[in-house]
C-alpha cells in the first residue's frame, strides 16, 4: 500500500474518528520516507502521559486547556520556528516532537492530539495566513489559542487584528474565518504548505509526492492535476504529464489558461513521439 493510500485510509471515516496525529505522520513521510509512524505515535502518547497529571488536576473545561498550554508551551518549550519558518521539516509532526518547534498548523495538531488524549478537546481555526486553536465552552463563548506564539490566548478582536496586520488591511475580515475546520481541511492545508515549500525550492520529486497525497484526497481538483502534470513535465515524465493536463482540461475546459495547457499537451505529444 502506498503512503497516499494509507493517508486516505486514515481520512476515510467520520471526522470525529479521524486520527489526526497518524494522518500528520503519514504526510511527514514526504520529507522522511522511512519514518516509522507507529513509533512516532508512541512518542505522542508518551507526551500525553507526561501531561496527564498537571492537566488532570483541573476540572474539564478552560482550566484544563490552560494547564495543557502551560505544559506544552512552558514546561516543554514548544514554540514557533521564526528563524527558519519555511524549512519543510516544520511541517512534519515528528520534527516538532524532536525539536519542539514548528509552524502554526503543525504545533496546533500537536496541541489537538495531546489535548484529545487528556479530555481537553480543541478545534483548529484556519485564519488566512495563520492557524489557531479554538476552545468553546458554548457556541457564544470561545477563546482562541496561538501555539506559534507561546500558546497565548486571543479573543475574536485579537484574531481580527492579527489578520489585519498580516495583510496590512488588504483583506476584509470575515467572521467565518473563526469557524472550526474539519480534520481533512487541516491535512490538506498541511499538504499545501509543504507542496508550496518544495515547489519554491525546486524540489520537484518531493513536491510530486505531496501532490499525489493531495489528489488522493481531492481527485477531481483540476488545479492540482495541472500542477502535477507540469511537475511530471519538469521531471521528464511526458506520458504522465500529458495524461494529467488532458484530465485538467476535461474537468475545466473553460480555464483561463486552457490555450496554454493545450499548447503544452501538443509539445508533450511531439516529445513522446520522438521517444518512441
Residue 137: per-residue pLDDT: 65
- pLDDT over threshold 80, residue 35: yes
d(CA 114, CA 134): 14
Q: Give strand pairing partners of 154.
A: 144
- pLDDT over threshold 60, residue 139: no
Do 114 and 54 form a contact (C-beta atoms < 8 A)? Answer: no
pTM of the model: 0.94
d(CA 215, CA 35): 22
Do 168 and 146 form a contact (C-beta atoms < 8 A)? Answer: no
**pLDDT tens for each residue of 206-217:** 999 999 999 999
Summarize the confidence of residues 159-174 as an average pLDDT: 90
pLDDT above 70 coverage of the chain, percent: 98
Summarize the confidence of residues 40-60 as an average pLDDT: 94
Residue 37: per-residue pLDDT: 98
Summarize the confidence of residues 170-194 as an average pLDDT: 95
Q: Which of 16, 122, 6 is CA-nearest to residue 64?
A: 122
- pLDDT over threshold 70, residue 184: yes
Residue 274: per-residue pLDDT: 77
pLDDT above 90 coverage of the chain, percent: 89
Per-residue DSSP letter, 169: T
Residue 194: per-residue pLDDT: 97
Q: Which of 40, 21, 23, 31 is CA-nearest to residue 89?
A: 31
Q: Give strand pairing partners of 233.
A: none
d(CA 29, CA 33): 4
d(CA 144, CA 27): 26
d(CA 69, CA 241): 46
Q: Work out whether strand 79-80 and strand 101-102 pair parallel, antiparallel, or are unpaired.
A: parallel
Do 73 and 147 form a contact (C-beta atoms < 8 A)? Answer: yes
Q: What are phi and psi of 144, to 5 degrees?
A: -120, 145
d(CA 183, CA 64): 22
Do 19 and 10 form a contact (C-beta atoms < 8 A)? Answer: yes
**Long-range interactions of 81-87: CB distance < 8 A, separation 24+:** 86/197, 86/200, 87/197
Summarize the confidence of residues 62-88 as an average pLDDT: 95
Residue 59: per-residue pLDDT: 82
Do 133 and 144 form a contact (C-beta atoms < 8 A)? Answer: yes
Domains, in order of start, for the chain: 3-181 (3.10.620), 220-275 (no CATH)
**pLDDT tens for each residue of 111-138:** 999 999 998 899 999 999 999 999 986 5
Summarize the confidence of residues 51-75 as an average pLDDT: 93
Q: Under 8 Å CB-to-CB from 61, ≥6 apart: which residues?
A: 137
Model confidence at 190, in pLDDT bands (50, 70, 90)?
Answer: very high
Amino acid at each position: 500500500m502506498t503512503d497516499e493510500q494509507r493517508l486516505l485510509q486514515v481520512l476515510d471515516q467520520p471526522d470525529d474518528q479521524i486520527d489526526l496525529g497518524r494522518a500528520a505522520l503519514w504526510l511527514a513521510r514526504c520529507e522522511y520516507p522511512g519514518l516509522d509512524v507507529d513509533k512516532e505515535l508512541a512518542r505522542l502518547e508518551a507526551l500525553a502521559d507526561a501531561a496527564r497529571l498537571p492537566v488532570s488536576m483541573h476540572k474539564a473545561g478552560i482550566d484544563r486547556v490552560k494547564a495543557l498550554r502551560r505544559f506544552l508551551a512552558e514546561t516543554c518549550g514548544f514554540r514557533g520556528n521564526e528563524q527558519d519558518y519555511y524549512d519543510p521539516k516544520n511541517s512534519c509532526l515528528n520534527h516538532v516532537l524532536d525539536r519542539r518547534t514548528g509552524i502554526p498548523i503543525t504545533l496546533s495538531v500537536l496541541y489537538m492530539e495531546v489535548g484529545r488524549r487528556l479530555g481537553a478537546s480543541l478545534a483548529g481555526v484556519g485564519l488566512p495566513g495563520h492557524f489557531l486553536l479554538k476552545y468553546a465552552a458554548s457556541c457564544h463563548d470561545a477563546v482562541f489559542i496561538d501555539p506559534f506564539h507561546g500558546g497565548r490566548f486571543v479573543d475574536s478582536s485579537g484574531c481580527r487584528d492579527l489578520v489585519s496586520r498580516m495583510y496590512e488591511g488588504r483583506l476584509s475580515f470575515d467572521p467565518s474565518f473563526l469557524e472550526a475546520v474539519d480534520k481533512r481541511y487541516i491535512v490538506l492545508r498541511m499538504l499545501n504548505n509543504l507542496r508550496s515549500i518544495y515547489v519554491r525550492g525546486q524540489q520537484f520529486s518531493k513536491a510530486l509526492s505531496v501532490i499525489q497525497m493531495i489528489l488522493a484526497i481531492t481527485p477531481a481538483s483540476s488545479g492540482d492535476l495541472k500542477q502535477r502534470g507540469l511537475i511530471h513535465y519538469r521531471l521528464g515524465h511526458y506520458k504522465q504529464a500529458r495524461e494529467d493536463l488532458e484530465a485538467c482540461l476535461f474537468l475545466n475546459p473553460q480555464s483561463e489558461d486552457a490555450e496554454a495547457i493545450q499548447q503544452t499537451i501538443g509539445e508533450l505529444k511531439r516529445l513522446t513521439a520522438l521517444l518512441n
